[in-house]
Amino acid sequence: DSGVTQTPKHLITATGQRVTLRCSPRSGDLSVYWYQQSLDQGLQFLIQYYNGEERAKGNILERFSAQQFPDLHSELNLSSLELGDSALYFCASSIRLSGANVLTFGAGSRLTVL
Amino acid sequence: GQQVMQIPQYQHVQEGEDFTTYCNSSTTLSNIQWYKQRPGGHPVFLIQLVKSGEVKKQKRLTFQFGEAKKNSSLHITATQTTDVGTYFCAGSNTGKLIFGQGTTLQVKP
Protein backbone atom coordinates (compact mmCIF):
# COMPACT_ATOMS: atom_id res chain seq x y z
CA ASP A 1 0.00 0.00 0.00
CA SER A 2 1.62 3.24 -1.21
CA GLY A 3 -0.55 5.45 0.96
CA VAL A 4 -2.08 7.16 -2.08
CA THR A 5 -5.72 6.11 -2.39
CA GLN A 6 -7.64 6.16 -5.64
CA THR A 7 -11.28 5.35 -6.27
CA PRO A 8 -12.88 3.75 -8.13
CA LYS A 9 -10.47 0.99 -9.18
CA HIS A 10 -12.49 0.20 -12.27
CA LEU A 11 -15.11 2.16 -14.15
CA ILE A 12 -17.03 1.27 -17.30
CA THR A 13 -19.14 3.89 -18.99
CA ALA A 14 -20.45 4.98 -22.36
CA THR A 15 -19.31 7.62 -24.81
CA GLY A 16 -20.62 11.08 -24.04
CA GLN A 17 -20.84 10.41 -20.32
CA ARG A 18 -19.01 12.16 -17.47
CA VAL A 19 -17.04 10.52 -14.66
CA THR A 20 -15.17 11.66 -11.58
CA LEU A 21 -12.02 10.00 -10.32
CA ARG A 22 -10.95 10.61 -6.76
CA CYS A 23 -7.54 10.64 -5.11
CA SER A 24 -6.31 11.07 -1.55
CA PRO A 25 -2.58 11.76 -1.23
CA ARG A 26 -0.38 10.25 1.43
CA SER A 27 -0.87 11.76 4.84
CA GLY A 28 1.10 14.99 5.04
CA ASP A 29 1.73 15.32 1.28
CA LEU A 30 0.43 18.58 -0.15
CA SER A 31 0.90 17.80 -3.85
CA VAL A 32 -1.31 15.76 -6.14
CA TYR A 33 -0.39 14.81 -9.69
CA TRP A 34 -2.61 13.20 -12.31
CA TYR A 35 -1.23 11.00 -15.09
CA GLN A 36 -2.90 9.13 -17.92
CA GLN A 37 -1.56 5.81 -19.18
CA SER A 38 -3.13 4.42 -22.33
CA LEU A 39 -2.40 0.95 -23.71
CA ASP A 40 1.23 0.72 -24.76
CA GLN A 41 1.72 4.37 -23.87
CA GLY A 42 3.88 5.98 -21.31
CA LEU A 43 2.75 8.18 -18.50
CA GLN A 44 1.22 11.39 -19.81
CA PHE A 45 1.25 14.19 -17.27
CA LEU A 46 -2.11 15.89 -16.96
CA ILE A 47 -2.01 18.33 -14.07
CA GLN A 48 -0.48 19.04 -10.66
CA TYR A 49 -1.95 20.70 -7.58
CA TYR A 50 -0.16 21.91 -4.50
CA ASN A 51 -2.10 22.75 -1.37
CA GLY A 52 -5.25 23.53 -3.33
CA GLU A 53 -3.62 25.57 -6.09
CA GLU A 54 -2.91 24.48 -9.63
CA ARG A 55 0.89 24.24 -9.93
CA ALA A 56 1.53 22.82 -13.41
CA LYS A 57 -0.47 21.77 -16.42
CA GLY A 58 0.40 19.14 -18.98
CA ASN A 59 -1.49 17.70 -21.91
CA ILE A 60 -4.88 17.90 -20.27
CA LEU A 61 -7.84 18.11 -22.62
CA GLU A 62 -10.41 20.88 -22.24
CA ARG A 63 -13.00 18.18 -21.55
CA PHE A 64 -11.03 17.26 -18.44
CA SER A 65 -10.81 19.30 -15.29
CA ALA A 66 -9.43 18.78 -11.82
CA GLN A 67 -9.36 20.38 -8.43
CA GLN A 68 -7.82 19.88 -5.03
CA PHE A 69 -9.98 20.42 -1.99
CA PRO A 70 -9.08 21.90 1.42
CA ASP A 71 -8.67 18.40 2.88
CA LEU A 72 -6.10 17.83 0.06
CA HIS A 73 -8.01 15.14 -1.77
CA SER A 74 -8.33 15.71 -5.49
CA GLU A 75 -10.86 14.91 -8.16
CA LEU A 76 -10.34 14.52 -11.88
CA ASN A 77 -13.46 15.12 -13.92
CA LEU A 78 -13.68 13.68 -17.40
CA SER A 79 -16.62 14.74 -19.54
CA SER A 80 -18.00 14.07 -23.02
CA LEU A 81 -16.08 10.83 -22.90
CA GLU A 82 -14.68 9.33 -26.08
CA LEU A 83 -13.42 5.82 -26.80
CA GLY A 84 -9.87 7.15 -26.77
CA ASP A 85 -10.23 8.25 -23.16
CA SER A 86 -10.10 4.61 -22.09
CA ALA A 87 -6.96 4.40 -20.00
CA LEU A 88 -5.45 3.97 -16.58
CA TYR A 89 -5.50 7.19 -14.62
CA PHE A 90 -2.90 7.47 -11.90
CA CYS A 91 -2.73 9.91 -9.08
CA ALA A 92 0.51 10.55 -7.24
CA SER A 93 1.76 12.59 -4.35
CA SER A 94 5.35 13.63 -3.81
CA ILE A 95 8.15 14.11 -1.35
CA ARG A 96 11.24 16.24 -1.82
CA LEU A 97 14.51 14.39 -2.31
CA SER A 98 17.71 16.28 -3.09
CA GLY A 99 15.72 19.22 -4.43
CA ALA A 100 13.44 17.17 -6.66
CA ASN A 101 9.93 15.78 -6.33
CA VAL A 102 9.81 11.99 -6.05
CA LEU A 103 6.40 10.55 -6.86
CA THR A 104 4.42 7.92 -5.01
CA PHE A 105 1.64 6.56 -7.19
CA GLY A 106 -1.74 5.20 -6.26
CA ALA A 107 -3.01 1.93 -7.68
CA GLY A 108 -4.84 3.75 -10.48
CA SER A 109 -8.37 3.94 -11.80
CA ARG A 110 -9.02 1.95 -14.95
CA LEU A 111 -11.57 3.69 -17.15
CA THR A 112 -13.22 1.83 -20.01
CA VAL A 113 -15.39 3.83 -22.40
CA LEU A 114 -17.70 1.73 -24.56
CA GLY B 1 9.19 21.32 -25.30
CA GLN B 2 11.28 18.97 -23.25
CA GLN B 3 11.22 15.38 -24.47
CA VAL B 4 12.52 12.21 -22.87
CA MET B 5 13.05 9.27 -25.20
CA GLN B 6 13.61 5.74 -24.02
CA ILE B 7 14.84 2.71 -25.94
CA PRO B 8 14.17 -0.04 -26.57
CA GLN B 9 10.41 -0.13 -26.21
CA TYR B 10 10.40 -3.88 -25.58
CA GLN B 11 13.08 -6.38 -24.64
CA HIS B 12 12.77 -10.14 -24.29
CA VAL B 13 15.65 -11.89 -22.56
CA GLN B 14 16.42 -15.36 -21.30
CA GLU B 15 16.69 -15.57 -17.53
CA GLY B 16 20.29 -14.94 -16.58
CA GLU B 17 21.01 -12.58 -19.48
CA ASP B 18 21.77 -8.93 -18.93
CA PHE B 19 19.43 -6.09 -19.85
CA THR B 20 19.95 -2.39 -20.49
CA THR B 21 17.51 0.44 -21.16
CA TYR B 22 18.59 3.88 -22.32
CA CYS B 23 17.05 7.25 -21.71
CA ASN B 24 17.83 10.43 -23.67
CA SER B 25 16.62 13.95 -23.09
CA SER B 26 16.41 16.79 -25.58
CA THR B 27 17.56 19.18 -22.85
CA THR B 28 19.95 19.10 -19.92
CA LEU B 29 18.31 17.64 -16.85
CA SER B 30 18.68 18.67 -13.24
CA ASN B 31 18.00 15.09 -12.17
CA ILE B 32 16.79 11.76 -13.51
CA GLN B 33 14.56 9.28 -11.75
CA TRP B 34 13.79 5.64 -12.51
CA TYR B 35 10.53 3.87 -11.79
CA LYS B 36 9.40 0.27 -12.22
CA GLN B 37 5.86 -0.79 -13.03
CA ARG B 38 5.07 -4.47 -12.57
CA PRO B 39 2.36 -5.94 -14.85
CA GLY B 40 -1.01 -4.78 -13.56
CA GLY B 41 0.64 -2.51 -11.02
CA HIS B 42 1.57 1.10 -10.57
CA PRO B 43 4.95 2.81 -11.05
CA VAL B 44 7.22 2.55 -8.05
CA PHE B 45 10.22 4.81 -7.49
CA LEU B 46 13.57 3.05 -7.73
CA ILE B 47 16.26 5.73 -7.59
CA GLN B 48 17.24 9.31 -8.35
CA LEU B 49 20.49 10.53 -9.90
CA VAL B 50 21.52 14.15 -9.56
CA LYS B 51 25.22 14.56 -10.32
CA SER B 52 26.91 14.51 -13.70
CA GLY B 53 28.48 11.09 -14.32
CA GLU B 54 26.84 9.60 -11.24
CA VAL B 55 26.63 5.82 -10.92
CA LYS B 56 24.45 4.08 -8.35
CA LYS B 57 23.89 0.41 -7.69
CA GLN B 58 21.00 -1.49 -6.16
CA LYS B 59 21.96 -5.17 -6.00
CA ARG B 60 21.90 -6.31 -9.67
CA LEU B 61 20.72 -2.92 -10.97
CA THR B 62 23.21 -0.24 -12.05
CA PHE B 63 22.05 3.27 -12.87
CA GLN B 64 24.15 5.88 -14.68
CA PHE B 65 23.69 9.57 -15.35
CA GLY B 66 25.62 10.94 -18.31
CA GLU B 67 28.36 13.52 -18.03
CA ALA B 68 26.26 16.05 -19.95
CA LYS B 69 23.19 15.21 -17.83
CA LYS B 70 21.16 14.49 -20.96
CA ASN B 71 21.14 10.71 -20.85
CA SER B 72 20.89 7.85 -18.43
CA SER B 73 20.89 4.09 -18.42
CA LEU B 74 19.66 1.23 -16.28
CA HIS B 75 21.53 -2.05 -16.50
CA ILE B 76 20.32 -5.28 -14.91
CA THR B 77 22.86 -8.06 -14.50
CA ALA B 78 21.70 -11.67 -14.71
CA THR B 79 17.98 -11.01 -15.03
CA GLN B 80 15.47 -12.94 -12.98
CA THR B 81 11.76 -13.48 -13.57
CA THR B 82 11.08 -10.99 -10.79
CA ASP B 83 12.62 -8.26 -12.97
CA VAL B 84 9.65 -8.43 -15.36
CA GLY B 85 7.89 -5.10 -15.81
CA THR B 86 8.15 -1.72 -17.45
CA TYR B 87 11.01 0.56 -16.49
CA PHE B 88 10.47 4.29 -16.86
CA CYS B 89 12.97 7.07 -16.67
CA ALA B 90 11.73 10.52 -15.73
CA GLY B 91 13.68 13.72 -16.14
CA SER B 92 13.22 17.19 -14.81
CA ASN B 93 14.73 20.56 -15.62
CA THR B 94 11.87 22.94 -14.99
CA GLY B 95 10.42 21.27 -11.95
CA LYS B 96 8.05 19.31 -14.18
CA LEU B 97 8.82 15.59 -14.30
CA ILE B 98 8.64 14.20 -17.85
CA PHE B 99 8.46 10.44 -18.25
CA GLY B 100 9.96 8.41 -21.04
CA GLN B 101 7.77 5.92 -22.87
CA GLY B 102 9.20 3.05 -20.85
CA THR B 103 10.96 -0.20 -21.68
CA THR B 104 8.95 -3.36 -21.10
CA LEU B 105 11.13 -6.27 -20.04
CA GLN B 106 10.02 -9.85 -20.39
CA VAL B 107 12.17 -12.63 -18.95
CA LYS B 108 11.88 -16.20 -20.17
CA PRO B 109 12.62 -18.76 -17.45
Q: Distance between CA B63 and CA A58 in Å, rounded?
A: 28
What pLDDT does residue A37 have?
95
* Alpha-carbon gap: B15 to the closest alpha carbon of chain A (Å): 24
The low-confidence residues of chain A, meaning pLDDT below 50, are: none
Query: Between A and B, how many residue pairs show a Cβ–Cβ distance under 8 A?
Result: 59
Contact criterion met (CB < 8 Å) for B95 and A42 = no
Structure confidence by residue, pLDDT tens digits, B3-51 = 899 999 999 999 999 999 999 999 999 999 999 999 999 999 999 999 9
DSSP symbols for A70-107: TTS-EEEEE-S--GGG-EEEEEEEEEEETTEEEEEE--
Q: How many CA atoms lie within 13 A of A54 on its CB side?
A: 11
Q: Is B5 on the interface with A (CB under 8 A)?
A: no
Residues 6+ apart with CB under 8 A from B80: B15, B60, B107
CB nearest to A98's CB, from B44, B48, B99: B48
Structure confidence by residue, pLDDT tens digits, B53-72 = 999 999 999 999 999 999 99
Q: Is the bond into A8 cis (omega within 30 degrees of 0)? A: yes
Amino acid at A9: K
CB nearest to B48's CB, from A100, A106, A108: A100
Chain B residues with CB-CB distance to A48 below 8 A: 96
Residues 6+ apart with CB under 8 A from A28: none
